[in-house]
Structure 1
Amino acid sequence: MSAAKPSAMIRYTALRLLIFVGCFFIAGVAVHFGLVPSGLGGSNVVWVMLLGLVLSAPLSFVLLRKQRDELSEQIVTKVDRTKARLDANRTREDAVQ
């Protein structure tokens, strides 16, 4: 396993988190200034978090397409290597028997 694989996952996760934090902040400002209705009773923080999630999901989908494709390629490569290793082990076991 090379060092590039975990860093791609960490980079993708960090970018997703950064987008969420930005959307959370924007939603909080919008609720504070009355541009978006506030939550019921004491649920304002939960409401702002939900707004942040709803805003960040499509943004992450569009903005992080390149990183997601790179990560997907790495996962497919790893799965293919694992399958090849399993097939080689299975063939060796069949040859021994």
Structure 2
Amino acid sequence: MLRYTLMRLGIFLGCLVVVWGLVYSGVFPSGRNGSNALWIPLLALVISAPISFVVLRKERDRASVQVARRVERMKANMQASAGVEDLADDRARAEAQSQAS
């Protein structure tokens, strides 16, 4: 998951550098009234999103498998904990009933 995040960040930073160069060389229009601080990262984000979607497909699939495994493991642990709690509750109730009789 960390690998995918770092790769995605790298693609964004690469696009940011390219867009910054193209804006300051006049190929892309610059922002109005000094809004380049918002315009350049926004444009880089719009460009990097489809690139990441295509280029990082395999890495995204690997990350989703890891997340799914983690979720399944957590579900199994929660079910095991619930079973232990139910057993302890049943024992306590049976003990209370035997003492009441």
TM-score, normalising length from structure 1?
0.85
Where does residue 36 of structure 2 map in the other structure? 44
Query: CA separation in 2, counterparts of 1:44 and 1:85?
Result: 50
Where does residue 67 of structure 2 map in the other structure? 75
Query: CA separation in 2, counterparts of 1:86 and 1:14?
Result: 31
How far apart are 1:61 and its partner, in Å?
1.0
1:6-21 → structure 2 map (5 Å cutoff): 9-21=1-13
Per-residue Cα deviation, 1:6-61 (whole angstroms, up to 9, x for no partner): xxx22111111110111011111111121111000111122111111110111111
How far apart are 1:73 and its partner, in Å?
0.5
Q: Give the SS at the match of 1:41.
A: helix
Larger Rg: 2
Q: Give the SS at the match of 2:22.
A: helix
Letter matched to residue 50 of structure 1: L
Aligned length: 89
Query: CA separation in 2, counterparts of 1:61 and 1:53?
Result: 12
Where does residue 55 of structure 2 map in the other structure? 63
Structure 2: any 5+ residue segments left out of the alignment? 91-101
TM-score, normalising length from structure 2?
0.82
Q: C-alpha root-mean-square deviation of aligned residues, in Å?
A: 1.1
Structure 1: any 5+ residue segments left out of the alignment? 1-8
- 2:18 paired residue among 23, 26, 36: 26
